[in-house]
Chains A and B, each alone.
Chain A
Amino acid sequence: MTAPVQPVSADRPAGYRHELYPYSGREEFLEGAVEFLREALDGGEAVVVAVPEEKASLLREEVPEEATVRYVDTTAVAHRPGRLIGAWQEWITAHAAHGRPVRGIGESPWDQARSRAEIEELRHHEWLLNKAFATGPAWWLLCPYDLTGESATLEPMARCHPQIRTGGRTTESTSYDPEAPFAFSPLGDPWDPFDEFAYTHGDLAALREKIAARAQEHGLTGRRLRELHLAATEVAANSIRHGGGQGVFRTWREDHRLVCEFRDVGHIDDPLAGRSRPTSSQPGGRGLWLVHQLCDLVEIRSTPEQGTVIRLHTELRD
């Protein structure tokens, strides 16, 4: 992030407004978040608060839950960035009744992230929010970000937020480029030992058998294995249908996670693919949505030149 900055009008702009709020420690968090909440309530707006429970408890003491202020449970989505856009769409729909303008406060549990991959995907989610809500109804999301956290780095976050709030003042983020692609870090190499299997039409059952064999070695059975099977089948079927008719599957254990990787020559050109809940009448497009809902973490890298790599992470509870 670089200076100088342009002040942003306090009047509600049309469209989506996505502000980063860098703070240091509890007092500053409360100061900025409460100010944002009270501004909203004074203006007759509704607010959805989606922050870790310890932060929610602090805020509730200052601004209790009421009809216009909803504290939502983020347990199922906080560590699963691929589910967050769908969750925000549902929270806004559920809590923004009566035609009021809506604000949100959203903070991810950055310091409790289980891996570097999760942090990267959380940042990618922040970047995707700008695209996901670019054409929808106007609303305003404040993203508190604790600079005292162990993994805190402001610059990558500033690249994902069009505005930054500091000292009660909102300015344009000069690091944010709406036209630039998200700057992913390169994926790490598979951990040894890994299994590899080339798949094509008719191989889905064999692929599931290979996953089951590896999963069972790590105590992954029952419902969670069924969910991994479903997610893996959706990804492999996409390779077969849209990714050149074939792909290469690899699987390995990485710390407390089982990772399943799929590579093919196809290209996913919509970065928002699979991020919004499907409707009953849409003809397809459920595969990646289900993958995000069924896996603990999903990494997708796709370019026309290099094809697509998708990694599914499943937490092992041993």
Chain B
Amino acid sequence: MRAARTLAALDEVGTGDHVCQMLGPADDVADRSRAFVADGALFGDKVVVVGTAPRAMGEFVQRVLDPARLDGSLLTAVRREAENAGREGFRSLRVLHHVTPGDRAQRDERLLRSELDLEEFAADSGALVVCVYGGAGWDAPTLEKVRCVHPHHLGASPTSPAFQVYRTGRDGWTVNGVVDSDGAPAFGAIMRTLLAQLATVRLLCHGLEFFDAAGMSALADAAQSLPDRKVVCEGTNETVRMVWELSGFAVPAVPVVMAP
């Protein structure tokens, strides 16, 4: 069973991890990543770098993917690499993804989609994916959303975000932590992104510590944003179910099921 955790260093990673590494202005990308890449060789993993591979780690990198020149989506490319890794005799695949700010207008939606894809990929395939965010050009709300869809955290912002949404099992998404008015916009965006791909989102809420009216409104809005969509929240506590009903959301027009 995957569980969220905060890492002190990249050598604590394990298979199936999806790590968000936030670099500070003084952090050196090559220095921070070298050991991770070298460990790949040590453990017999195939190492794929998405973005640019610093020269210092080149000897350990089997493949460099340029996101601008991919034939298809990043998810398709890493899935293909994972299949190849098995055939080529590697133990597993480890992906080092240097994420760069793109066109701001489309960035949030595309980035969330890409990160949720990678989260699903890591969980389902057992590949190890590290997403490195550094440099200028990022805004705080975007980074906050991105942090929320990684179960594992490392780097300049080593503490976990207020809540996390991550893949659990074959068809579930865990939400844990605190979804309040501060996090509601990010939670709504994540739910809309999931619902754009899935007719039914199974949300496992056993670790959801706090869920306020703003968070619930964000969920209700997301569930109604596309036709024929449904969210099934499992493991909700009695307070969440009561507040959902009191808030007026327990009606057929809001396709959300709140289950114990």
Contact = CB atoms under 8 A, between A and B. Distances in A.
A223 B214 contact: no
B243 interface: yes
B3 interface: no
A230 B181 contact: no
Contact of B246 (A204, A205, A223, A293): A293
B223 to A, nearest CB: 10
Interface string A69-89: 000000000000000000000
Contact of B162 (A205, A226, A287, A293): A205
A237 B210 CA distance: 14
A278 B247 CA distance: 6
Interface in B222-260: 237-239, 243, 246-249, 251, 253-254
Interface string A218-231: 00000100110110
Q: Which of A226, A282, A289 has the most C-beta atoms of chain B within 10 angstroms of its own C-beta?
A: A226
Given A280-B254, A281-B253, A205 B243 contact: no
B248 A227 contact: no
Contact of A280 (B212, B237, B253): B253
A315 interface: no
Contacts of A234: 212-213
Interface in A192-239: 201-202, 204-205, 208, 223, 226-227, 229-230, 233-234, 237
Given A241-B181, A277-B248, A290-B243, A233 B212 contact: yes
A188 interface: no
A282 B239 CA distance: 21
Nearest to B252: A280
A43 interface: no
A277 B182 CA distance: 24
Contacts of A229: 210
Interface string B182-220: 100000000000000000000000000010111001001
Contacts of B178: 205
Contacts of A250: none
B117 interface: no
Interface in A252-306: 277-284, 286-287, 289-290, 293-294
Contacts, number: 62
Contacts of B247: 278, 286, 289-290
Contact of B239 (A223, A287, A289): A223
Given A226-B239, A280-B251, A293-B246, A237 B217 contact: no
B180 interface: yes
A233 B180 contact: yes
A230 B212 contact: yes
A280 B213 CA distance: 12
Nearest to B178: A205
B238 A223 contact: yes
Contact of B181 (A223, A237, A281, A290): A237
18 contacts: A201-B182, A202-B182, A204-B181, A205-B162, A205-B178, A208-B210, A226-B239, A230-B210, A230-B243, A234-B212, A234-B213, A237-B180, A277-B246, A280-B249, A280-B251, A287-B213, A290-B213, A293-B246
- 3 cross-chain pairs, A with B, having the tightest CB-CB distances, nearest first: A237-B181, A226-B239, A278-B248
Given A205-B162, A280-B248, A286-B213, 14 more contacts: A204-B181, A208-B210, A226-B239, A229-B210, A230-B239, A234-B212, A237-B181, A237-B212, A278-B248, A280-B249, A280-B254, A284-B217, A290-B213, A294-B243
Interface of A: 201-202, 204-205, 208, 223, 226-227, 229-230, 233-234, 237, 240-241, 277-284, 286-287, 289-290, 293-294
